[in-house]
Each structure stands twice: as structure tokens, then as C-alpha cells.
Amino acid sequence: MQLPAEGTVLDLGCGIGVVGIVVKSFHSLLSVCLSDVNERAIRLAQQNAALNNVSVEIRSGEGLAPWNRQFDAILLNPPQHAGKEICFRLMTEAQCRLKTGGSLQIVVRRNKGGKSFSEQMELIFGNVTEMGKKKGYGVYRSIKREN
């Protein structure tokens, strides 16, 4: 991940909260938000945040719907099993909710459509960088430019 020194980060589709909790643990100046559509995942994320004594904001809901704010970074491990339509919608929503200069960072399985995900990010943002690849996964980053 490449994170700002301060600002607000969203762990979108947080699952049990590992990424968001780690971000907050190592970057105390960041305001960290987590959300997921799965209620059980939300409960587990809340428990994990409490167990790790980190203060994060956790909400339940579909995509970016739970949030009425802009973010400096959005981290996403897209639900590739749900289909590209949903994943691409999440990317588009993320672009609309990023501050200028903010980034969307995703991790995808390269043999399950990684190339199409990076191409979609290029289409939405006008830029994409492969930050890393290992053991069949790729990490991609796009930055929101001025409109």
C-alpha cells in the first residue's frame, strides 16, 4: 500500500477488517474507515478492532453507499467471484469518492481477470500502475486527477 501521511482511508469490502486494522495500527494520524456488505464480516471486524485496541469507523452497506464523504485512499480486494460488473461498479464508485490526488489500490488474482481490472482502472482514471505482483496476485493503483 501507498498511504498518505494523514487523511482518510477506506478499506472497502473489509471482510474481518485485517487491512483497515493494520493500516490504523501503523498510521495513527490516518482516519480509517471500513465497510462490507456482509453483516457477519462487520461484526467480526468490530471484534477484531476491539481486540487490537484500534479506533476505526465500521459501517455495513453496499459499495460506497454507507459513506457520504471523500477519501484520500480507497483499498479494495474486489469480490472477483461476484463478477466483473460488480467489481467495475465499485471502481467507478471509488473514483467518484476520492479527493483529487487520492488513490484506489486493488489486489486481484492475475489469472482471474487481472489484466481486465487494470484496463478498467486505466479507463476510469486515465492511469494505472502495477505496484507489485507475486504468487498469482497483482496490486494496482490509480490516482484521481483533477476534473
Question: Does the pLDDT of residue 82 top 90, yes or no?
Answer: no
| Mean per-residue pLDDT over the chain, rounded | 92
Give me the pLDDT at residue 109, please.
81
Average pLDDT over residues 37-65: 96
What's the average model confidence in pLDDT over 23-41? 95
What confidence score (pLDDT) does residue 81 get? Answer: 62
Instruction: Quote the CA–CA distance of 78 and 84 in Å, as a whole number.
Output: 9
Q: 101-126, pLDDT tens digit by residue?
A: 999 999 988 776 668 889 999 999 99
| pLDDT the model gives residue 78 | 78
Each as own residue / partner, the long-range contacts of residues 46-53 (CB below 8 Å, 24 or more positions apart, any chain) are 46/17, 48/16, 48/17, 48/18, 48/21, 49/17, 49/20, 49/21, 52/21, 52/25
Q: Domains plus CATH for the chain?
A: 7-143 (3.40.50.150)
Q: What percent of the chain has pLDDT over 70?
A: 94
